[in-house]
Amino acid sequence: MTVNTDVLKGSVARPALPARYAGLLCLDDFQAAARRHLPSQVYSYVADAAETSSSHHANRSAFSSYEFVPRVMVDITQRNTGVTLFGRRWDAPFGIAPMGLLALSAYRGDLALASAAAQENIPMVVSGSSLIRLEDVAQANPASWFQAYLPGNDDGIMALLERVRAAGYGTLVITADTAVAANRENNVRAGFTIPVRPSVGLAWQGLTHPRWLFGTFLRTFLQHGMPHFENSYATRGAPILSANVERSLSDRGHLNWRHLRMIREYWNGPIVMKGVLDARDARIAVDAGVNGLILSNHGGRQLDGAVAPLRVLPDVVAACPEVPVMLDSGVRRGSDVLKALALGARFVFVGRPFSFAAAVAGEAGALHGIDLLKQEVSRNMALMGINSLGELDAHCLRAVAR
């Protein structure tokens, strides 16, 4: 028995969600399912945050520090969840945030998410630390955006950008919050490191999670060989077991605004800077020609204690009114999406939940997750008495009195 059978969208047949997942009713439900499905080390890589996880928790509590003030007796039957960004219309005000190593938790995870995003007409951002070639993701979903972890030198940056452009990407996302590798001590405690180090604990976890072992790990090795970091440079990066991996992912200490200006001269399409939190940086970025911003503390995975993006959102919107200000980190509900938009965000991105959705049920899981969030957005718009997302503003919210 399956749920969601015979569902067709456009000409693409949607894979059915296995019946055992019928109980997944919200994005957080995917996390619990993924925790059972994944080896604890791999789960930790996705789920855990840096040091004390205080930014990770702050991301959630920022959303609960606002309440809605809904309007009533409004005909909401014509409501529309669409948003236009950089001249393209999307069906929902959220997209899939870039996530590294997706293919370790979900078989060819980036491709599953890219295909789901295409069918649902939401943007998918391909990670610079993905294990799937950016060219393959572009083929699965030509509307994907590419997120670069810039190499540490000018030639390396330009060579990577040439590759990204040749693959057909239009929108370039530059992540700015990874000057050095973060302190992922919680991953180390759980036995997950980059490079991945084979251990008795990892072997045991593999054996006790056979669906992951056969469906993701062995299937990947047998069909595609050892996973490599594919998208950090113009050429293939190191295999995930290589001792050199850590260095190749963290050599960004001297990147500065000059590099952004150099990229601006080269890149014709929209450039989005991700990882900005200070309104002064946002202003510098926009003055240097950036077309959009994604406020982010990297899901609490970089600087522990960094402010939740939602808290700085109004300041950044005020400082940079001419560009779309977007946000990620902690978005789990349609109500979160609407709160961010009411505070001035044009769009939001959601990471971990889609990684968990693809881990437990591949493309069908991702489609289900996207559908759930779309339904929450649409239902909550109705309950707030609004027909278009442009109606959201600060009047829709009250800060919770503490």
**Positions at the binding site for FMN:** 98-100, 127, 147, 175, 274, 296, 328-332, 351-352
Strands (E) across 201-330 are located at 271-276, 292-295, 325-327
Q: Which residues are annotated as a binding site?
A: 45, 98-100, 127, 147, 149, 175, 184, 274, 296, 298, 301, 328-332, 351-352
CB closer to ligand GLV, 192 vs 267: 192
Closest approach, Cβ 264 to ligand GLV, in A, equals 23
What residues line the site for ligand GLV (CB under 6 A)?
A: 100, 129, 298, 301
Looking at the annotation, which residues are catalytic?
Answer: 298
Measuring CA to CA, which residue among 383, 400, 370 is closest to residue 116?
Answer: 370
CB closer to ligand GLV, 209 vs 298: 298
CB closer to ligand GLV, 44 vs 205: 44
Closest approach, Cβ 301 to ligand GLV, in A, equals 4
Q: What is the dihedral of CA 63, 69, 73, 78, to 10 degrees?
A: -30
Strands (E) across 94-238 are located at 94-96, 125-126, 145-148, 172-175
SS3 content of the chain, % helix, strand, coil (to 5): 45, 15, 40
Closest approach, Cβ 173 to ligand GLV, in A, equals 12
What letter does residue 254 receive in the DSSP assignment? Answer: T
CB closer to ligand GLV, 15 vs 330: 330
Question: Is there a contact between 93 and 81 (Cβ–Cβ < 8 Å)?
Answer: yes
CB closer to ligand GLV, 129 vs 248: 129
**Gyration radius of the chain over CA positions:** 20
Q: Which residues are annotated as a binding site for glyoxylate?
A: 45, 149, 184, 298, 301
Question: Is there a contact between 341 and 362 (Cβ–Cβ < 8 Å)?
Answer: no
Question: Is there a contact between 273 and 174 (Cβ–Cβ < 8 Å)?
Answer: yes
Closest approach, Cβ 129 to ligand GLV, in A, equals 5
Its sign, for the CA torsion 133, 44, 209, 97, is: negative
Closest approach, Cβ 127 to ligand GLV, in A, equals 6
What letter does residue 88 receive in the DSSP assignment? Answer: E
